[in-house]
Structure 1
């Protein structure tokens, strides 16, 4: 099932990865190892895909945090504005996450929805490759229609 949800401002602290498509999986896996090793005392892990700016793919892998949280050495903070997202759940192996995002993209295209280029994946856990992931695609902000 795909639904539209609203999120308040979100703050994610973690390791930024910028890599080509071929190098991205290994770079993201290494970043997750650094995040999990930091042992920040949370279970709210998140991966954020950001729009490409330099031809490289950009991912922030980390954890949800309060805006005033301390940023561990070697990590960065990303603040996302409040917004609307398409959401679906994906159960199973991590390799199937791409299928879930493909369903979200197809739904957006079929319904004439404009995406912002930001994607969220909640569900990563230390030592667990498989499981439930909540996948989100941010909708582009839209001006209200004037009547």
Structure 2
């Protein structure tokens, strides 16, 4: 009996460890397949270290049941490749802004799912796009601002300098 199926759709970060897991009761063995072909993984966890583009595909695991329990097969787990997030355009390193004027900071990166802007190392609530704006700067806005480019599942994040 399957208790927990592998995640139905996920990303493997190129060059990083990746794994799929299944939890099942009353089984004696596991046989993982990718795109219908056995891959030689025989535990409840299928792993790739490092994950590479050829590891992309649809995974299943067949388990042999303890008698009188039947054999069972998991649902499909589709795995797509992604890469780590790398900031390609940094926010302006240092800027002077007059009180009352606006401030706009921009960042660009590769393979990014979202961003998180920070003020003096603390997350700024709701600041999760590639652009951070302060419509009218006050003295309370004087700070060090940075941004984290948050990558897809399994990949490392990059932080602006």
TM above 0.5, yes or no, is: no
Tell me which interval the TM-score lies in, with the shorter structure as reference length: under 0.3
Which structure carries more strand by proportion? 2
Higher RCO (C-alpha 8 Å, min separation 6):
1
TM-score of the two chains, using structure 1 as the length reference: 0.27
Which structure carries more helix by proportion? 1
TM-score of the two chains, using structure 2 as the length reference: 0.25
